[in-house]
Amino acid sequence: MGVDGVRLRLYLKFVHMKHPIVLIGIAAMAALLLFSGCKKDVDPEPEPTPDGPRLIFRFAFDPTQARLNNLGQLSTIPSGHAAQSPAFHKISAHYLELAPTMFTQIGDGEILYHAPETTAGGDIAINFDQAIIKGEGENFLSIPLSSVSPGTYEYMRVSLSYQNYDIQFRQSGLNLTGRIASFVGFNNYITTYTINTQPVEVNDDHLQGYWGFETELLLEPLSGQAPPGATTVPNPIQSTSPIVPGSCVVTGPFGAPIVITGNETADIIVTLSLSTNNSFEWIEVIEDGLFEPSAGEAVVDMGLRGLIPIVN
């Protein structure tokens, strides 16, 4: 027993002898103080999320995932072409939809997100100034599960709009790294965008396939446009649920259908795994498998090569 405990006992003995009636109140107070001193701090219960559990989407980039064509079939690199798997930094999407079956037409499923659009450039276009741009593993979209219609969904549709990644290229006998900003949405209204460190002013619309290229060797970024229809957009249910040409609505089946009951008590996280397997493709002039823009080698395809949606 410590010094304070001895003093307390002596004081209580004294009070008992002099004022026995007061002892009861003092003893009760002492017991309360001793109990309070021994009580451990307890963390408060976490506040529940006001709108309940959420449906969360994140992107992942996989250079080992299957390389698919527009019909969702395995694809090889054409003769006279070469390709590489870029190192991705950022991505954006224009549209997310859950499709119940392979016969669900685009727009008839559960639309989860539709990015802002504008006619500032003349035609309807994705408003790049308001795009959500995220890196791998970051939350791209988080919505209350209570806002999603209960049902069973077999397919995921994601309309990709913007990509930012590093590529390897050859210049003057040197193997170097450059940064690409690639716009793959159906139409993109762009005021200004930054590829890596250098801003590019546009203030106009650009159709699918527009790109900008920055490297330390160049005083100013280069830009260009891939041919119409050249961007690969895998859709394994094209025969039953076709995608509008020129869009970038990549479709992928869930390993097992995702079921929304409306009674969920925890978040559902969906990782949208995108195939970057040789997704940057060009026509070779010097057949060495190296991208050499100074030799006139032109980019023909910047489309991602497949989507696998993975739940939790």
Closest CA to 237 of 219, 218, 254, 258: 254
**pLDDT at 38 (0 to 100):** 41
Closest CA to 85 of 98, 67, 99: 67
Query: Is residue 226 within 8 Å of 214, Cβ to Cβ?
Result: no
**pLDDT at 37 (0 to 100):** 42
Six token digits for residue 211: 């790109």
Closest CA to 272 of 55, 11, 77, 123: 55
Question: Per-residue pLDDT for the chain (312 aa), expressed as one digit of tens each?
Answer: 443 443 334 333 333 433 443 333 434 333 333 334 444 444 444 444 567 899 999 999 999 999 999 999 999 999 999 999 999 999 999 999 999 999 999 999 999 999 999 999 999 999 999 999 999 999 999 999 999 999 999 999 999 999 999 999 999 889 999 999 999 999 999 999 999 999 999 999 999 999 999 998 888 898 989 888 899 999 999 999 999 888 999 999 999 999 999 999 999 999 999 999 999 999 999 999 999 988 999 899 999 999 999 998
pTM: 0.82
Chain centre distance of CA 252: 16
Domain ranges of the chain: 3-38, 54-311
